[in-house]
Structures are given as structure tokens and as C-alpha cells.
């Protein structure tokens, strides 16, 4: 065992997509931290540098190094103890290296050392724990900052002698290390399943939704889409071809029972109740002084949801449908040979309705959420306009991508990612620009920004329309619509 083998072990255990993504992110944050160190001349420059570097540490410890857990598990099952030892030893080796190098720089510059190192260690441990904890826990990780803010005052009252922040940071660190040890031990010995909601997040590296980005639509795990309730077969049949096709398309197309919808709504409400409860706690704590801030946070959450959800609807629809159209042994042969769905022209028409209705309704729902958010703003007309345009273009992009799949001209992630990225960026820039236009102190150049935004939208709409037309023409020429597009 030499140093090179040790350092290459977790690298080799991760998918190449995850490796490069993580390395690029880490190096970028290092560059930004260096730039701050070189050009920042304030008393708190060290703090900015340490926080930036801490941000960079999150990615490798959440998405790259946890692959060592999978390697250690496989090595144990294959009875290769040397490999298992390598996988374990590589982690402290990287931790020391990633702490020692910036610590040396901080020491050379005469900056404080203890607090940054504590923060970095905490980030590494937190990120690693994120990868090893059950999925049902990590769902709530996104709400931790809101919860932290909301609970901070109560925390001080509950634990008045908790001491200064390094004390509880160390306590938290110890807690995280215990959790990591417990989960690691259970996982590599096979006591923790790789299936279901109690599986650790790191299994995503094995099943391809982390790192194997280009194969995302091919390897997306079906288990996530299998509801215990299955589907509602009642009502399917030749007399209701669209409902029947939705059943065969699966995923979120599947017709479900009312009970299932109620269950889903309950889960959603539980998820939403966490941040809303946190805001409510904050509100109760300061007697309404922060109500404006809470209101702004809620408004931000509403618009943020609308801006995130629309590209996400597009992405998920594309992933699901392209996967179904990639495999030759799934529903396509069954649908192609299923009697009772009418002529090929009728099949195409009904398939289009079945495949597009649900995503388009979801886009409309995103618009509805955005419009509800507009209710609290004074000058809403520009915001409504922006929401309508952005979500219409999102819907157009969804339609284009799905028509291309159905027409046998599917696009790879390298086409879809820039398209969805552009939808996402323009939607968020649109929100910022209209918020600026709607404020009492609109900056002078906001109109120019709006013009640039409009130009971006026109280009994007042109791109999406071109995709949709190409897909439509291809579908028209297909003799029967249930022909697979093998990868």
C-alpha cells in the first residue's frame, strides 16, 4: 500500500461524472477563496476565505468520498480485507490533507486557525453524514438553515450554559462522528438495506442518479416511482384509451386512488410544515417584529418553488419518458401490440394527450403558485407577465423534448441540460428584474435588463419551438408510435 494507491482509491470508487463535477466545484471554490485572500484587505477576510473553502469541502465529502463506503462494503463481501482497509484509510488521509494545506496557508498569513479548522471539520463530517444518513432524514437537510435561525433564540434559553460556539461545534462534531461510525458499520456489514427510504444517500452513486448524469434517464431507479398503492386499474380499457395509456406510462402518469392522493398530500403537508413551523416559531419568539422578514421568506419560497418546479417538471417528464422509450422490454412492445387502442393515428393522438397533459397541468400549477405569491405584492403586473412568459416557455420546452422522444429523435442530456439551465436562469433573472422594476427604488438600468431578458426569452422560445416542430414532424412520419429509441 503506497500513498498514490491510498489517494486514488476513493477516486476510482466514484463514477467519472461525479468525480469531475466535484473536482471542478472544489477547485472553483479554492480559486474564489484565493482571490478573496489576495484582494480582500479587511479584518474579516480570513472569515470569508474560510467559509468559501468550507463550501468547497462540502461537495467532495458529500458526493465523492462516500463512494468509499460502497467500496468497503463490496470489498468485505468479496473477502478482500486489504481493499476494505484502503477504503477506510483513504478518508482520514484526505481529511488531513484537505485541512493541513489551507491551515498552513492560514498560519503563514497569521490568521486565526482554530475556528476555521473546526468549521472545515464540521463541514466534512456533516457532508459525509449527509451521504450516510437515511434518505428520509436527508430530505429535511434543506430546511436546516431555516430551522437553525428559528430555533437559535430558544436554544440559548434552553441551554444557557452551553458556552461559546467552539464548544457546541465540538459537541456537534462528536455527535456527527458517532453517527457516521454507526451508519458506516451497519452499511458495510449489510445491516442497512440499499433499498427504500432508510437506505443511505450514497447508494445513489451505485444506482447512477449521482454522477452518471449522461445515463440518468436510463438508470433512474424505478423503486422511487413504485407506490405501494400501485395503480387504479378500474376505468381502464378500450373505452378510455387515454387513461389506459397513462396506466402504461407509469410514474406520475399512473391513475391512482383518492386514498393515494390523500396520502401524498399528507406527506407534502408534513414537508411544508417544517419551514412554515420554523417561520411561525420565529414570529412567536419576537412578537411579530420579524413578521415582515418571515413574510418575505415565505414569498421568496413561493417564487423559488415556482421557479424551481417548472424546469424540474420538464426534467422529470423527459427523464421518465425517455427511459420508457429507450427500453425494448418494457411497456412499448405491450402497447404496440395491445388491441383496442384504435388506428395508429388515434394511438398517436391519444399518446400525445396522455403524455403531455400531466406535465402541462403541472406547469400551469407552477404558474398558479406564482400568481398566488403575486397577491402579496403591490405592483404585480410585470411579475405576472414574467411568470406567464417563463412558465409558457418551460411548457414549450417540455413539449418539444417529449415530442422528440415520441418522434424517435431523442436528445441527450447535453442538449437537455443547457435548455433547462437556460429556462431556470431566465426564470430566476426574470424574478429579480421584475422585483427591481416593482420596487420603489428601481435602478436606472433595470429597463435595459428587461430588454436583455426578453431577447433571451425569444431565443429560448425559438429553440424550444424548433425542437417541438422537429419532434412533431418525426412523430407524423412514424408508422406506429410505440417504437423504442434504443440508446
Partner 1 sequence: MNALLQDAHERFDPPLAARGLGHGYEGATVLRCINLDVAPGSVLGLIGRNGAGKSTLLRALLGLLEPTTGEARVFGTPALAMDDTVRQRIAYVPQQPEALAWLTVEQMFDYLSRFYPSWNHAFASDTLARWQLPENKLLGKLSPGERQRVELVRALSSEPDLLVLDEPAAALDPVARRELLREIALRAGEAGITVLFSTHIVSDLERVASEIAFLHEGRLLLHCPVDDTKERYARLWLPARLASSTPTSTLSRRSHADGSVSVVVERDAHGRWPEAHAQPGVRLDVLGLEDLFVEIAE
Binding interface with partner 1 (CB under 8 A): 222-223, 225-227, 230-231, 233, 236-238, 244, 247-248, 250-251, 254, 327-334, 336-344, 478-480, 482-484, 486
At what angle are helices 45-59 and 81-109 packed, to 10 degrees? Answer: 170
Task: Tell me how far, at minimum, the Cβ of 135 lies from partner 1, in Å.
Answer: 18
Which residue in 323, 307, 149 sits closest to 224, CA to CA?
A: 323
Minimum CB separation from partner 1 for residue 229, in Å? 9
In the complex, the smallest distance separating the C-beta of residue 233 from partner 1, rounded to whole angstroms, is 5
Q: Smallest gap, in angstroms, from Cβ of residue 57 to partner 1?
A: 38
Which residue, 205 or 247, has its beta carbon nearer to partner 1?
A: 247
As measured in angstroms, the least distance from the Cβ of 256 to partner 1 is 10
Stated as kind and residue range, the H or E segment containing 422 is helix 413-438
| 398, 360 Cβ separation under 8 angstroms | yes
Cβ closer to partner 1: 232 or 290?
232
Beta carbons of 367 and 306 less than 8 angstroms apart: yes
CA distance 339 to 316: 29
Phi/psi zone of residue 14: left (φ > 0), alpha (ψ -120 to 50 degrees), beta?
Answer: beta
CB nearer partner 1, residue 3 or residue 479: 479
Residue 257 or 415: which CB sits closer to partner 1?
A: 257
| Alpha carbons 77 and 80: distance in angstroms, whole number | 8
Closest CA to 396 of 417, 425, 419: 419
Cβ contact 454:374 at 8 Å: no
CA 146 to chain centre: 18
CB of 403 to partner 1, least distance (A): 18
- By C-beta, is 249 or 391 nearer to partner 1? 249
Q: Kindly tell me which of 40 and 255 has the beta carbon lying closer to partner 1.
A: 255
Closest by CA position to 26, among listed 110, 107, 97? 97
Amino acid at each position: 500500500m503506497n500513498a498514490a494507491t491510498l489517494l486514488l482509491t476513493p477516486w476510482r470508487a466514484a463514477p467519472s461524472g461525479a468525480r469531475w463535477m466535484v473536482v471542478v466545484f472544489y477547485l472553483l471554490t479554492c480559486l474564489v477563496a484565493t482571490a478573496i485572500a489576495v484582494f480582500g484587505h479587511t479584518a474579516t477576510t480570513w472569515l470569508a476565505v474560510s467559509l468559501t473553502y468550507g463550501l468547497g469541502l462540502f461537495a467532495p465529502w458529500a458526493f465523492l468520498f462516500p463512494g468509499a463506503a460502497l467500496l468497503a462494503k463490496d470489498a468485505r463481501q468479496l473477502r478482500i480485507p486489504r481493499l476494505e482497509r484502503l477504503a477506510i484509510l483513504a478518508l482520514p488521509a484526505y481529511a488531513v490533507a484537505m485541512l493541513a494545506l489551507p491551515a498552513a496557508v492560514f498560519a503563514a498569513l497569521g490568521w486565526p486557525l482554530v475556528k476555521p479548522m473546526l468549521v472545515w471539520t464540521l463541514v466534512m463530517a456533516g457532508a459525509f453524514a449527509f451521504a450516510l444518513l437515511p434518505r428520509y432524514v436527508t430530505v429535511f437537510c434543506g430546511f436546516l438553515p431555516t430551522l437553525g435561525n428559528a430555533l437559535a433564540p430558544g436554544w440559548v434559553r434552553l441551554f444557557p450554559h452551553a458556552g461559546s460556539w467552539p464548544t457546541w461545534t465540538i459537541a456537534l462534531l462528536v455527535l456527527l462522528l458517532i453517527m457516521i461510525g454507526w451508519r458506516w458499520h451497519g452499511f458495510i456489514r449489510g445491516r442497512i438495506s440499499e433499498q427504500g427510504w432508510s437506505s443511505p444517500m450514497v447508494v445513489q452513486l451505485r444506482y447512477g442518479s449521482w454522477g452518471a448524469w449522461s445515463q440518468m434517464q436510463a438508470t433512474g431507479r424505478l423503486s422511487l416511482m413504485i407506490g405501494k398503492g400501485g395503480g387504479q386499474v378500474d376505468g381502464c380499457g378500450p373505452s378510455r384509451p387515454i387513461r389506459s395509456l397513462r396506466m402504461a406510462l407509469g410514474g406520475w402518469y399512473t391513475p391512482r386512488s383518492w386514498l393515494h392522493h390523500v396520502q401524498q398530500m399528507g406527506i407534502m403537508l408534513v414537508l411544508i410544515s417544517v419551514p412554515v413551523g420554523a417561520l411561525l416559531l420565529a414570529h412567536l419568539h419576537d412578537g411579530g417584529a420579524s413578521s415582515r422578514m418571515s413574510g418575505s421568506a415565505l414569498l421568496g419560497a413561493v417564487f423559488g418553488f415556482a421557479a424551481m418546479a417548472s424546469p424540474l417538471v420538464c426534467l422529470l417528464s423527459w427523464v421518465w419518458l425517455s427511459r420508457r422509450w429507450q427500453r425494448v422490454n418494457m411497456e412499448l412492445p405491450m402497447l404496440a401490440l395491445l388491441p383496442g387502442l384504435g388506428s395508429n393515428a388515434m394511438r398517436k393522438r391519444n399518446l400525445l394527450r396522455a403524455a403531455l397533459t400531466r406535465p402541462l397541468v403541472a406547469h400551469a400549477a407552477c404558474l398558479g403558485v406564482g400568481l398566488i405569491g403575486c397577491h402579496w405584492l403591490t405592483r404585480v403586473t410585470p411579475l405576472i407577465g414574467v411568470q406567464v412568459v417563463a412558465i409558457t416557455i418551460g411548457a414549450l420546452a417540455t413539449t418539444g423534448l417529449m415530442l422528440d422522444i415520441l418522434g424517435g429523435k431523442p436528445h441527450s442530456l447535453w442538449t437537455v441540460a443547457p435548455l433547462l439551465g437556460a429556462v431556470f436562469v431566465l426564470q430566476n433573472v426574470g424574478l429579480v428584474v421584475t422585483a427591481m422594476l416593482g420596487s420603489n427604488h428601481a435602478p436606472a438600468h433595470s429597463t435595459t435588463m428587461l430588454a436583455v431578458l426578453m431577447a433571451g426569452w425569444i431565443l429560448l422560445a425559438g429553440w424550444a419551438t424548433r425542437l417541438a416542430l422537429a419532434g412533431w414532424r418525426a412523430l407524423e412520419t412514424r408508422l406506429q408510435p410505440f417504437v423504442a429509441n434504443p440508446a
